[in-house]
């Protein structure tokens, strides 16, 4: 049985050559590159809001440090 795909995502990930990349989930190439993580996060938030995707912000070790929903949240908070 095939695994059900999750919601569309964008990621802020460290670039092996230095700096930070913004990538769409599943993409091999970065959509943008930044020297500072803060600049990459700012750009990624704008893209994520416009495309209504989940935003995953990674640490230097590659682990997800923060996650934000800018689209169809699969588990919205109760009101």
Total domains in the fold of the chain? 1
For position 69, what pLDDT does the model report? 86
78 belongs to a structural domain:
no
Q: How far apart are the first and last CA of the chain?
A: 36
* Whether residue 2 has pLDDT greater than 60: no
Please write down the HEC assignment for all residues of the chain: CCCCCCCCEEEEEECCCCCEEEEECCCCCCCEEECCHHHHHHHHHHHHHHHCCEEEEECCCCCEEEEEECCCCCCCCCC
Q: Evaluate whether residue 75 is within a structural domain.
A: no
**Is there a contact between 10 and 48 (Cβ–Cβ < 8 Å)?**
yes
* Residue 71: band (very low, low, confident or very high) from pLDDT cuts 50, 70, 90: low
The reply to whether 69 falls in a domain is no
pTM: 0.83
72 in any annotated domain: no
Which residue range forms the structural domain that includes residue 15?
A: 9-64
- pLDDT, one tens digit per residue, over 42-66 is 999 999 999 999 999 999 999 999 9
Has residue 4 been placed in a domain? no
Residue 41 lies inside a defined structural domain of this protein: yes
| pLDDT bucket at 72, cuts 50 / 70 / 90 | low
């Amino acid at each position: 049985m095939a695994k059900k795909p999750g919601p569309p995502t964008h990621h802020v990930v460290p670039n092996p050559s230095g700096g930070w990349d913004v990538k769409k989930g599943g993409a091999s190439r970065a959509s943008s590159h930044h020297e500072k993580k803060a600049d990459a996060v700012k750009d990624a938030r704008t893209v994520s809001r416009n495309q209504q995707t989940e935003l995953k912000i990674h640490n230097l070790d590659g682990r997800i440090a923060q996650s934000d929903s800018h689209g169809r949240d699969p588990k919205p908070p109760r009101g």
